[in-house]
Chain A
Amino acid sequence: MRYSDPQLRDRLAAEYVVGTLRGRARARFESLLRYDAPLRRIVAEWEGRLTPLAAAAGEVTPRSRVWQGVARRIGGRTSHTRLAFWRGLAVTSTAFTLVLATFLGMAPRPELPMASVAVMADDKGQPSMVVSWPSMKDVREPHVRIKVLQEHPTMAAGTAWELWMLPRGQAAPVSMGLITTDVNQVMKIKSDVARRMGAGEAWGVAMSVEPAGGSPTGAPTGPVIFKGQCVRVL
């Protein structure tokens, strides 16, 4: 198909927005959209034309568990219904946290400097995700920091994103854990994985798409979509 034909572009954009563009054609169109700004504009125009239709869908209040799930996933403690109550507390809460933290002997520490970093790219060489970690000797709770660079990462339903440490030599990848779609996240890792990463045993980090709950075998089973080499920066 020739995606340069303006009439075809307009028709595909319209069918994409109305929803009749389906399956592989839809997936193909979405990957085009990522690199084709004018096409994104045509789609936005169609969304502007057709989305007012959604107003006729009628409003249905979702159950409270939906909000609870959202709040949990964005790491918030905000209660949607008891907001007014928390508003009053907000003024004092920062001071309160400081006091509590000092009392517990763990004053909020500045972010640890990252000692190693892996910039992961997709199969087209486009940087997609950055994984970095501090010197594992210095941390009480070993963790890696993950930053998603792609604009709209979407996790297909029923799947999970699993991060893998790629050891030097021919050794098999070691699971680091499952990540979320958050653009910025911190993931705790097990101490033995941390030890090996801290010792510079990893040459790279990869991410694969796995069934919900992670790889059932302990090795990557789904496609590896991002991969990058580790670089020591500190």
Chain B
Amino acid sequence: MRLTELLSQCALKNQRAFADLYGLTSAKLYGVALRILRRQDWAEDVLQECYVNIWNHAQNYAVQKSAPLTWMTSIVRNRCLDWLRRPQAEATGADYDIAVEAWQDDSPGPMEQLMAAGDAQALARCLQQLEGKQRQSIMLAFFHGMSHSELAGHMKQPLGTVKTWVRRGLERLKGCLSPEKA
């Protein structure tokens, strides 16, 4: 709950609280941006812009119903996806190799990391119940900012098939995570 407190201090324009907030969250958010944008300079630009936005809009946080890190992560993810919308961002951006295979099947690495991450356990459990292709397409889209057509290219499958995997996967995730079914 430390983050909530820091955010409300930021809403009061407390720069010290903001510096602490940055210290506690920037490595996480930078990791997120780096995965999606795959270029250090872009990820740095986006991160900088997002923290300025977080500072300016901290007072809006109170009205949101999400956890502070969720709120901040969504700001970064949305900005990254906006960034990829720029025409010049399409072709380039290969500083970081995508471990496409990493999310396939039941490879332990990242999934174990997720299990270890506290509040992600339920999600990790539900992800494991998905079919391999559904899981892989959701992970690639979420982590690496892949669009449907990029997914189709990477997974060497028709666009329609990939779209269905994402849609069905999300539906099943929702069902698995909903409290009535737990």
Which residues of chain B are within 8 angstroms of A108 by Cβ–Cβ distance?
none
In the complex, the answer to whether A22 meets B44 with C-beta atoms within 8 Å is: no
CB of B79 within 8 Å of the partner chain: yes
Which residues of chain A are within 8 angstroms of B46 by Cβ–Cβ distance?
157
In the complex, the answer to whether A14 meets B174 with C-beta atoms within 8 Å is: yes
- Interface magnitude class on chain A: 35 or more
Interface bits B113-132 vs A (CB < 8 Å: 1, else 0): 11001111001000000000
Known: A62-B44, A181-B52. A158 touches B86 (CB 8 A): yes
Chain B residue with the shortest CB-CB distance to A65? B44
Known: A15-B166, A47-B74, A152-B57. A67 touches B22 (CB 8 A): yes
Q: How far is the CA of A206 from the CA of B63 in the complex (A)?
A: 30
In the complex, the answer to whether B60 meets A56 with C-beta atoms within 8 Å is: no
Max count, chain A CB within 10 A of own CB: residue among B69, B74, B173: B74
Interface contact tally, CB-CB below 8 A: 180
Chain A residue with the shortest CB-CB distance to B117? A55
Q: How far is the CA of A83 from the CA of B19 in the complex (A)?
A: 8
Segment 25-74 of A: residues with Cβ below 8 Å from B: 26, 41, 44, 47-63, 65-67, 69-71, 73-74
Q: How far is the CA of A59 from the CA of B23 in the complex (A)?
A: 12
In the complex, the answer to whether A23 meets B119 with C-beta atoms within 8 Å is: no
CB proximity of B89 to chain A, nearest CB, Å: 8
CB of A115 within 8 Å of the partner chain: no
Q: Per DSSP, are chain B's interface residues mostly helix, strand or loop, or mixed?
A: helix
Which residues of chain A are within 8 angstroms of B26 by Cβ–Cβ distance?
61-62, 66-67
In the complex, the answer to whether A26 meets B114 with C-beta atoms within 8 Å is: no
In the complex, the answer to whether B114 meets A55 with C-beta atoms within 8 Å is: yes
In the complex, the answer to whether B82 meets A156 with C-beta atoms within 8 Å is: yes
In the complex, the answer to whether A157 meets B83 with C-beta atoms within 8 Å is: yes
Chain B residue with the shortest CB-CB distance to A7? B171
Using a CB–CB distance below 8 Å, which chain B residues touch chain A? 15-16, 18-19, 22-23, 26-28, 30-32, 34-36, 43-49, 51-53, 55-57, 60, 64-67, 69-71, 73-74, 77, 79, 81-83, 85-86, 110-111, 113-114, 117-120, 123, 138-139, 141-143, 145-148, 151, 163, 166-167, 170, 173-174, 177
Instruction: List 12 additional A-B contacts (Cβ < 8 Å) besides A52-B120, A61-B30.
Output: A11-B170, A19-B146, A19-B147, A26-B81, A49-B177, A61-B27, A66-B51, A69-B48, A73-B52, A156-B86, A157-B46, A157-B49
The 6 A-B residue pairs with the shortest CB-CB distance in the complex, in nearest-first order: A55-B117, A52-B120, A59-B27, A57-B31, A56-B114, A62-B30
